[in-house]
Chain A
Amino acid sequence: MKISVPTHSLVMSLRKVLNIVSPRSTLPVLSNVLLTASKNELSLFTTDLEICITTKITAEVESEGQTTIPAKKFGQIVSTLSGENVTIETDSELITSISSGKALFKIMGLNPSEFPKETEFQENQTLLFNKMDFLKILKKICYSSSKDQTRIILNGILLSMREGNLTAVATDGRRLALVEKVLDNQDSLIDCDVILPSKVVNELQKLLDEDGDASIKLSDSNATFIIDNTVLTTKLIEGSYPNYRQVIPASFTNSIQLPRENFSEVLNRVSIVVNESGSSVKFSLEQDEAVLEANSAEIGEANESMQVAYQGDPLSISFNPDYLKDPLKVLDCDELTLRFNDEYKPVVMLGDEGFLYVIMPMRS
Chain B
Amino acid sequence: MSKIRILPEDVSNRIAAGEVIERPASVIKELAENSLDAGATQITINVSRGGRSSIKVIDNGCGMDSEDSLLSIEAHATSKIKSAEDVESIASFGFRGEALPSIASVSRFELRTKTPDKTIGTEVLVNGGIIKSVSEIGCASGTSITVKNIFYNIPARKKFLRTVNTEEFHITEIVLLMALANPGVGFQLSFDKRPVISVQAESNLRTRATMLLGKDTVSAMLPINYSENDIHVSGFVARPGLSRASRKDQRTFVNGRPINSNTIYYAIKDAYHTLVMKGRFPPVLLFVKIDPTLIDVNVHPAKKEIRFRDGHSVGSVIKNGIDQTLKNIVEGFKPSPGPTITSNHVNTEIKAESELSDNGVTTENSQSPLVDTASSEKRENLSRQETAGDSGMYPIPKPPIPPPDSSVDLTTHQSTIDDGTSVSAVCNNNLLELRILGAIGNLFILAEGRHGLVLIDQHAAHERIMFEKVLKQMKLKDGIRQGLLMPITVDFSNADTKIIAENLSHLSKLGFEIEDFGNNTFIISAIPAHFPQDNISGMLMDIVDQLRNSPASPKRPDEAKIAKIACKAAVKAHDHLTDKEMSNLLKELNAMELPFTCPHGRPTMINLSFKELEKRFGRRQ
B and A form one assembly: yes
Where the two chains meet, the residues of A that have a C-beta atom closer than 8 Å to any C-beta of B are 147-150, 171-176, 242, 246-247, 276-280, 297-298, 320, 344, 346, 358, 360-364
Task: Write the chain A residue with the least CB distance to B537.
Answer: A150
**Measured between C-beta atoms, what is the minimum distance from A176 to chain B in Å?**
6
Taken together as a complex, chains A and B put the C-alpha atoms of A68 and B565 apart, in Å, by: 43
Given contacts A148-B533, A148-B535, A149-B535, contact A364 B480 (CB under 8 A): yes
B479 and A277 contact, CB distance less than 8 A: no
B473 and A346 contact, CB distance less than 8 A: no
B534 and A362 contact, CB distance less than 8 A: no
**Measured between C-beta atoms, what is the minimum distance from B320 to chain A in Å?**
27
Which residues of B are found within 8 Å of A149, using beta-carbon distances? 534-535
Task: Write the chain B residue with the least CB distance to A318.
Answer: B480
In-complex Cβ contact of A360 among B469, B483, B488 (8 A): B483
Task: Write the chain A residue with the least CB distance to B474.
Answer: A278
Contact with A along B419-438 (1 / 0, CB 8 A): 00000000000000000000
Contact with A along B468-503 (1 / 0, CB 8 A): 010001101101111111101000000000000000
Task: Write the chain A residue with the least CB distance to B479.
Answer: A364
Given contacts A247-B485, A362-B481, A363-B481, contact A278 B476 (CB under 8 A): no
Given contacts A297-B476, A298-B473, contact A363 B485 (CB under 8 A): no
Which residues of B are found within 8 Å of A247, using beta-carbon distances? 485-486
Which residues of B are found within 8 Å of A298, using beta-carbon distances? 469, 473
A278 and B535 contact, CB distance less than 8 A: no
B473 and A360 contact, CB distance less than 8 A: no
A278 and B483 contact, CB distance less than 8 A: no
Task: Write the chain A residue with the least CB distance to B565.
Answer: A276
Taken together as a complex, chains A and B put the C-alpha atoms of A361 and B485 apart, in Å, by: 9
B100 interface hit (Cβ, 8 Å):
no
Taken together as a complex, chains A and B put the C-alpha atoms of A67 and B534 apart, in Å, by: 42
B530 interface hit (Cβ, 8 Å):
yes
Main secondary structure of the interface of A (DSSP, over half): loop
Taken together as a complex, chains A and B put the C-alpha atoms of A39 and B530 apart, in Å, by: 59
Contact with A along B521-564 (1 / 0, CB 8 A): 00000101111011111100000000000000000000000000
A174 and B484 contact, CB distance less than 8 A: yes
Which residues of A are found within 8 Å of B530, using beta-carbon distances? 276-278
Chain B interface extent, by class: 20 to 34
**Measured between C-beta atoms, what is the minimum distance from B482 to chain A in Å?**
5
A-B pairs under 8 A by CB, number:
74
Given contacts A278-B477, A364-B480, contact A173 B485 (CB under 8 A): yes
Taken together as a complex, chains A and B put the C-alpha atoms of A171 and B488 apart, in Å, by: 14
Which residues of B are found within 8 Å of A173, using beta-carbon distances? 484-486, 488
A362 and B535 contact, CB distance less than 8 A: no
Which residues of A are found within 8 Å of B481, using beta-carbon distances? 362-364
Given contacts A174-B484, A280-B480, A362-B481, contact A150 B535 (CB under 8 A): yes
A242 and B529 contact, CB distance less than 8 A: no
Which residues of B are found within 8 Å of A148, using beta-carbon distances? 533-536
Given contacts A148-B533, A150-B538, contact A346 B485 (CB under 8 A): yes
Given contacts A297-B473, A297-B476, contact A147 B529 (CB under 8 A): no
A320 and B483 contact, CB distance less than 8 A: no
In-complex Cβ contact of B485 among A150, A360, A362 (8 A): A360
Taken together as a complex, chains A and B put the C-alpha atoms of A358 and B486 apart, in Å, by: 11
**Most chain A CB atoms below 10 A, which of B485, B488, B535:** B485
Taken together as a complex, chains A and B put the C-alpha atoms of A246 and B203 apart, in Å, by: 73
**Most chain A CB atoms below 10 A, which of B483, B531, B533, B538:** B483
**Measured between C-beta atoms, what is the minimum distance from A38 to chain B in Å?**
46
**Measured between C-beta atoms, what is the minimum distance from A20 to chain B in Å?**
25
Which residues of B are found within 8 Å of A280, using beta-carbon distances? 480, 529
Which residues of A are found within 8 Å of B535, using beta-carbon distances? 148-150
Q: List 16 A-B contacts (CB under 8 A).
A: A148-B534, A148-B535, A149-B534, A171-B486, A172-B533, A174-B482, A174-B485, A246-B486, A276-B530, A278-B531, A279-B529, A280-B529, A344-B483, A362-B482, A363-B480, A363-B526
B485 and A278 contact, CB distance less than 8 A: no
Task: Write the chain A residue with the least CB distance to B527.
Answer: A174
Taken together as a complex, chains A and B put the C-alpha atoms of A340 and B315 apart, in Å, by: 48
**Measured between C-beta atoms, what is the minimum distance from A306 to chain B in Å?**
24
B534 and A360 contact, CB distance less than 8 A: no
Taken together as a complex, chains A and B put the C-alpha atoms of A358 and B529 apart, in Å, by: 18
Which residues of A are found within 8 Å of B529, using beta-carbon distances? 277-280, 320, 362
**Measured between C-beta atoms, what is the minimum distance from A225 to chain B in Å?**
29
Taken together as a complex, chains A and B put the C-alpha atoms of A150 and B488 apart, in Å, by: 12
- 7 closest A-B pairs by beta carbon, nearest first, are A278-B530, A360-B483, A148-B534, A278-B529, A150-B535, A247-B485, A364-B480
**Measured between C-beta atoms, what is the minimum distance from A348 to chain B in Å?**
11
Which residues of A are found within 8 Å of B469, using beta-carbon distances? 298
Which residues of A are found within 8 Å of B480, using beta-carbon distances? 278, 280, 362-364
